[in-house]
Structure 1
Amino acid sequence: MIDAIRTVGIPVSDQDRALEFYVGTLGFEKIMDAPVPRFGGRWIELRPHRSSTTIALTPARDQEFAGVDTGIRFTTEDAAALHAQLSDGGVDVDELLNWPGVPVMFDFRDPDGNVLYVSEVVRG
């Protein structure tokens, strides 16, 4: 039986540029960066602070385009502060959504236009 999610792939057109964004701008930790010529690039695996699930920056190919809605949702302690930080840093962010009964959230795009989401952790 499947019992966990280990890694989610994000297609990117330039792995070095994506690595700089995810590590330098988002603060992710690089777990692995290994050449995989058969794969058409490298296996680059990263993780957000305190996360057991990782993301892999996979080379975009003909059948796997960059610039997709990834459906990936990250969490943060303070969505408004992160929204301001990313916006001030030149990241393409959308409106901060603050609806009653729903965690504060927003979406943003990486340098390839891949859409990612952030929601605030609700402490109960």
Structure 2
Amino acid sequence: MTTVNKIAVAMFTVADQDAAVRFYTDKLGWEVRNDVAMGEGPDAGRWVEVGPPGSDATLALNPPMGGQPGGGGVGVEATDLDAELERLRGTEGVEVGDPMGGEGPVPRMFSVTDPDGNWVWIVEAPQG
């Protein structure tokens, strides 16, 4: 995977943490960074983090707190945007948007939508 990024931590709300982990690891090729219980007993919550390999960025996947899942967005940089676009377009179950940008100061980018409606924007990393 060619993705690297600048963000340190972002948080998405998801309906099912296990399903979200499968999407980000199996479909996007990210890795689990943390998966620990929050509290004790059968009602204990869970703190789950994933991120692109080789990146310092971490995305926390949390159950909704008093609302519906989804609606968040995060951007990650790719050193080879075209290769990442091709790879993700060829991955079953991944909704990939059309590339955009590339004019003036706007970098080229495309979006991926997770099953909960969160947006991951894959942005072309600056050269040099």
TM-score range, shorter chain: 0.7 to 0.9
Alpha-carbon distance in structure 1 between the residues aligned to 2:103 and 2:75 = 19
Which sections of structure 1, spanning at least 5 residues, go unmatched? none
Alpha-carbon distance in structure 2 between the residues aligned to 1:116 and 1:14 = 18
Amino acid at match of 2:30: F
Alpha-carbon distance in structure 2 between the residues aligned to 1:86 and 1:96 = 12
Native 8 Å contact 2:98 2:110 kept in 1: yes
Q: TM-score, normalised by structure 2?
A: 0.80
RMSD: 2.2
Once the two structures are overlaid, the 10-residue window that deviates more, 34-43 or 10-19, is 34-43
Alpha-carbon distance in structure 2 between the residues aligned to 1:11 and 1:113 = 9
Native 8 Å contact 2:12 2:72 kept in 1: no
Deviation for aligned residue 1:30? 1.1
Alpha-carbon distance in structure 2 between the residues aligned to 1:35 and 1:25 = 25
Amino acid at match of 2:71: V
Q: What SS class does the counterpart of residue 43 from structure 1 fall into?
A: strand
Identity of aligned residues (%): 35
Q: TM-score, normalised by structure 1?
A: 0.82
Q: What SS class does the counterpart of residue 13 from structure 1 fall into?
A: coil
Q: 1:28 to 1:113 in 2, by over 3 A?
A: same
Native 8 Å contact 1:34 1:42 kept in 2: yes
Native 8 Å contact 1:40 1:59 kept in 2: no
Once the two structures are overlaid, the 10-residue window that deviates more, 33-42 or 87-96, is 33-42
Q: What SS class does the counterpart of residue 35 from structure 2 fall into?
A: strand
Q: Which runs of 4+ in 1 moved over 4 A?
A: 37-40
- Equivalence for 2:37: 35
